[in-house]
Amino acid sequence: MSFGKELNLTMLTDFYELTMANGYFEGGLQERIAYFDIFFRKIPDNGGFAIMAGVEQMIEYLDKLKFDEADIEYLRTKGIFSEEFLQYLKKFKFSCDVWAIPEGTPIFPHEPIVTVRGPVIEAQFVETMLLLTINHQSLIATKANRIVRAAQGRPVMEFGSRRAQGYDGAIFGARAAYIGGCVGTACAIAERDFAIPAFGTMAHSWIQMFPTELEAFRAYARTYPQDCTFLVDTYNVLKSGVPNAIKAFNEELVPRGFRPKGIRIDSGDITYLSKQARRMLDRAGFPDCKIVVSNSLDEYIIREILVQGAKIDLFGVGERLITSKSEPVFGAVYKLAAIEEQGEIIPKIKISENVEKLTNPGFKQLWRFFDKESGKAIADVITLAGEEIDDTRPYELFDPEFTWKRKMVTNFYAQKLLVKIYDKGQCVYKMPDLKTIRDYCREQVDTLWDEVLRFENPHTYYVDLSVNLWQLREKLLAEHIVK
């Protein structure tokens, strides 16, 4: 059993999906085949890339899609849906094809990261939940990956449940953080259901429950001699917390043959306190005792305190990770890319008053080019589906906006990134386990150049269009300009 697995979230949908569905039904368009893409426009925190996540929960949602009696009853009360349509919903069964980029993959703006093809009512209806799921987990995986990279090899734990935006903000947030590279979580249910290692020791209240800090430490050490990390900032880190921790280590652990695990500092000047604490622990004969810190950390603070020479072995990151505080929205959208008429694909484009809201028309595939020598990712190319890329020959990339910017690539191999996960409503994708996704994420991030990875002014990774797709877009643009 796993959290949320039994939930039917069919009705977690924007109401307009239902008014449109009924409209298509009334207009006799319910069998019209449509193609929708999910893509995003801007990388959170001005980063160089994002991390795809949420595919597993998207599959769980699609597998259970079903209008039950209560849903139909509710819809009937609205008084705007025809009885025929309500009967149609009763029998509603998802029959679309779906392609998605595997979880853990670095993704870039304007790339199709999910494509849904099928009868327009179905393909349209799933918009809200697909976006919600992919937006949420990609946001947190992306943020976690930034924080993990800032920690430069030191483990990062996800500590944010109490500040998450709702239950699955906490649970699926912990899942996404693990994909992004966290070593574990404080959230017990995330371990029970997703096998994400959960850790935890004590709150300040534990200390306060005892007459003195030392007695609190002793009691804890007696219960957990094998896993003893003390929270040392309840009264005063250097004058009370660390000395008492050392005393308790010496009294309760050493005589019984145990070594201390660590101390945790949750407030104050982390750099100063960690350096002093490190010195005190080393002098007391505990150089193996780790220093854990937690207190409104994020990638910027972690980078800063490490530059200052803070002595930290493990970071616990809470609210700023679990809400992606500095940028709490991953703005992926769901846009019509094509329809079919008599089996022929008719590409569609969305113009807008805002230029960046322009869409890439047609049924598409996404390719990643890797340099054969270094293994590094060179560029992504969006093509029309069915186009092949011959990676035995040089390929000319060109910028879709500034087409004079061109680059010939050689000695590369090209990999398709969109994988089929549903075939006519049947899931055909075997979800990798979470640990595998996490490893894959690390490997894939390693294929990016340092210039793409950096936090400040990262290099804009090339996402180019094939000549065919670019020409199609130009043609549709010209047709749609309203004079």
Site for its own copies in 415-454 (CB under 8 A): none
Our finding on whether 186 is near its own copies (CB under 8 A) is yes
Q: How far is the CB of 457 from its own copies (least distance, A)?
A: 23
Residue 170 or 445 having the CB closest to its own copies: 170
Residue 52 or 389 having the CB closest to its own copies: 52
Our finding on whether 480 is near its own copies (CB under 8 A) is yes
Q: How far is the CB of 127 from its own copies (least distance, A)?
A: 7
Our finding on whether 18 is near its own copies (CB under 8 A) is yes
Choice from 13, 250, 276, 447 touching its own copies (CB under 8 A): 13
Stretch that binds its own copies, among 70-78, 286-294, 374-382, 446-454 (CB under 8 A): 70-78
Q: What tokens appear for 133 in the block?
A: 């799921």
Where does residue 307 rank: exposed (0-12), middle (13-18), buried (19+ CB within 10 A)? exposed
Kindly state the helix (H) or strand (E) to which residue 437 belongs, with its residue range.
Answer: helix 434-446
Our finding on whether 251 is near its own copies (CB under 8 A) is no
Cα–Cα distance for residue pair 385/429, rounded to 1 Å: 19
Measured between alpha carbons, how far is residue 95 from residues 79, 126, 234, 347 in Å?
28, 12, 57, 21
Cα pseudo-dihedral 341, 343, 349, 350, rounded to 10 = 60
Subset of residues 287 to 316 that bind its own copies, contact rule: CB under 8 A? none
Our finding on whether 168 is near its own copies (CB under 8 A) is yes
Stretch that binds its own copies, among 265-273, 370-378, 380-388, 410-418 (CB under 8 A): 265-273
303: Cα within 13 Å, side-chain hemisphere:
11
Residue 32 or 154 having the CB closest to its own copies: 32
Cα–Cα distance for residue pair 319/294, rounded to 1 Å: 10
Residue 272 or 440 having the CB closest to its own copies: 272
Q: What tokens appear for 48 in the block?
A: 């160089």
- Confirm if 185 and 192 have CB atoms less than 8 A apart: no
Among 222, 216, 220, 230, smallest CA distance to 261 is for 230
Cα–Cα distance for residue pair 414/391, rounded to 1 Å: 6
Our finding on whether 188 is near its own copies (CB under 8 A) is yes
Our finding on whether 224 is near its own copies (CB under 8 A) is yes
Our finding on whether 482 is near its own copies (CB under 8 A) is yes
Our finding on whether 354 is near its own copies (CB under 8 A) is yes
Q: What tokens appear for 481 in the block?
A: 């300009």
Stretch that binds its own copies, among 92-100, 190-198, 255-263, 435-443 (CB under 8 A): 190-198
Choice from 64, 66, 275, 350 touching its own copies (CB under 8 A): 350
Which stretches of 67-166 are DSSP H helices?
A: 69-77, 83-90, 120-125, 127-150
Q: How far is the CB of 8 from its own copies (least distance, A)?
A: 9
Our finding on whether 226 is near its own copies (CB under 8 A) is yes
Q: How far is the CB of 3 from its own copies (least distance, A)?
A: 8
Q: How far is the CB of 332 from its own copies (least distance, A)?
A: 8
Alpha-carbon Rg for the chain in angstroms: 26
Choice from 64, 65, 92, 200 touching its own copies (CB under 8 A): 200
- Confirm if 277 and 262 have CB atoms less than 8 A apart: no
Our finding on whether 171 is near its own copies (CB under 8 A) is yes
Our finding on whether 191 is near its own copies (CB under 8 A) is yes
Residue 46 or 165 having the CB closest to its own copies: 165
Q: What tokens appear for 158 in the block?
A: 């996800």
Among 88, 115, 87, smallest CA distance to 101 is for 115
Taking the alpha carbons at both ends of the chain, their separation in whole angstroms is 58
Residue 236 or 410 having the CB closest to its own copies: 236
Our finding on whether 330 is near its own copies (CB under 8 A) is yes
Cα pseudo-dihedral 294, 299, 305, 311, rounded to 10 = 60
Q: How far is the CB of 64 from its own copies (least distance, A)?
A: 13
Subset of residues 365 to 424 that bind its own copies, contact rule: CB under 8 A? none
A 10 A CB-CB count for 131 gives 21
Q: How far is the CB of 72 from its own copies (least distance, A)?
A: 11
Kindly state the helix (H) or strand (E) to which residue 51 belongs, with its residue range.
Answer: strand 50-51
Subset of residues 121 to 150 that bind its own copies, contact rule: CB under 8 A? 124, 127-128, 131-132, 135-136, 139-140
Residue 187 or 437 having the CB closest to its own copies: 187
Among 344, 380, 391, smallest CA distance to 363 is for 344
Our finding on whether 478 is near its own copies (CB under 8 A) is no
Our finding on whether 324 is near its own copies (CB under 8 A) is yes
Kindly state the helix (H) or strand (E) to which residue 340 belongs, with its residue range.
Answer: strand 333-341
Cα–Cα distance for residue pair 149/173, rounded to 1 Å: 18
Choice from 63, 269, 387, 399 touching its own copies (CB under 8 A): 269
Residue 95 or 240 having the CB closest to its own copies: 240
Among 50, 43, 36, smallest CA distance to 99 is for 36
